[in-house]
């Protein structure tokens, strides 16, 4: 006999651009919003009864409706505002998860001055949030950045590893270290300063990566995590996923040339894959 297990449903990739117009400038945001609901939906699966189902098209419209009146400055604030609306207006919903990705638009600089209404897409990283709440409980907020693409041309080595009959990798004492990192962090303390915390964390990650004398991706990942915790007492843990995007030394010997760590072939498949959570 079959029975329904855990279930949820929602709307994904609701795209939204927002202009906030001030007297002296415009602010611009571009978001992609995912919504998932949990609740009293069993009969929609087992009895084809849709009487408690909020259409996903209505969820899409709800994103735009809430955004129209929202004063949220950050994706964290908007995620909670949207989730609170859905919980308050749907008795059959017991829990909500809202995920948002924000593209990194920044104000354009013209002759060193920030332009009031013109923007440049930076990145390719996006800002992220996952906000989860059950009725009667507080919000759980996990913020992050995805696609943080960084590279250093020195201060990176890899030696002292296991060597067996299948090992062909040669030790490296001065190699390129490139990654496209995904980083998420969980808040321990209530805050409304999400943008300031994010800025401190990202700055700490980049500073540590640049200055770190890396003996492995694992070594650098852990010290980057420690630096982020030091920079942001508001968070209790941070998770870093750092693929090792290889740049392989090109063999120029067939052309009668040496290659003193000068010419490389970038590859993205296959690549090393390292992730860890650093906690207090």
Residue 246 among the catalytic residues = yes
> Choosing from 26, 43, 52, 56, which is the catalytic residue?
56
What the block records as the tokens of 138 is: 């507080």
| φ, ψ at 132 (rounded to 5°) | -125, 135
With contact defined as beta carbons under 8 Å apart, do 65 and 183 qualify? Answer: no
187, 33, 160: which is closest to 103 by C-alpha? 33
248 strand-pairing partners = 265
What the block records as the tokens of 166 is: 């299948």
Residue 74 among the catalytic residues = no
Is the N-terminal amide bond of 124 cis, ω within 30° of 0? yes
State the residue for tokens 């760590």.
261
With contact defined as beta carbons under 8 Å apart, do 56 and 44 qualify? Answer: no
Rounded CA separation 28/260 (Å) = 46
> Choosing from 11, 127, 182, 239, which is the catalytic residue?
11
Residue 135 among the catalytic residues = no
Catalytic residue annotation: 11, 56, 246
């Amino acid at each position: 006999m079959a029975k329904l297990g855990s279930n949820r449903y929602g709307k994904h990739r609701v795209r939204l651009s927002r202009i906030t117009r001030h007297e002296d400038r415009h602010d611009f945001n571009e978001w992609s919003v995912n919504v998932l609901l949990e609740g009293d939906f069993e009969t929609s699966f087992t009895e084809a009864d849709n009487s408690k189902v909020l259409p996903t098209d209505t969820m899409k419209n709800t994103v735009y409706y809430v955004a129209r009146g929202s004063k949220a400055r950050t994706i964290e604030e908007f995620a909670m505002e949207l989730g609170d609306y859905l919980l308050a207006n749907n008795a059959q919903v017991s829990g909500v998860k809202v995920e948002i990705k924000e593209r990194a638009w920044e104000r354009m600089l013209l002759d060193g001055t920030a332009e009031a209404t013109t923007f440049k897409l930076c990145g390719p990283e996006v800002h992220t949030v996952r906000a989860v709440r059950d009725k009667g409980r507080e919000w759980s907020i996990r913020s992050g950045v995805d696609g943080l693409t960084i590279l250093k041309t020195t201060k990176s080595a890899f030696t002292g590893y296991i060597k067996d009959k299948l090992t062909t990798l040669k030790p490296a004492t001065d190699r390129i270290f490139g990654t496209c990192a995904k980083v998420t962090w969980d808040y321990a303390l209530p805050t409304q300063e999400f943008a300031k915390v994010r800025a401190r964390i990202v700055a700490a990650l980049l500073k540590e990566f640049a200055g770190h004398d890396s003996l492995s991706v694992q070594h650098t990942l852990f010290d980057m995590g420690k630096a982020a915790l030091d920079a942001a007492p508001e968070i209790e843990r941070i998770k870093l996923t750092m693929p090792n995007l290889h740049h392989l030394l090109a063999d120029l010997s067939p052309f009668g040339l040496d290659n003193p760590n000068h010419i490389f072939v970038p590859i993205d498949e296959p690549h090393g894959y390292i992730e860890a959570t650093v906690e207090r």
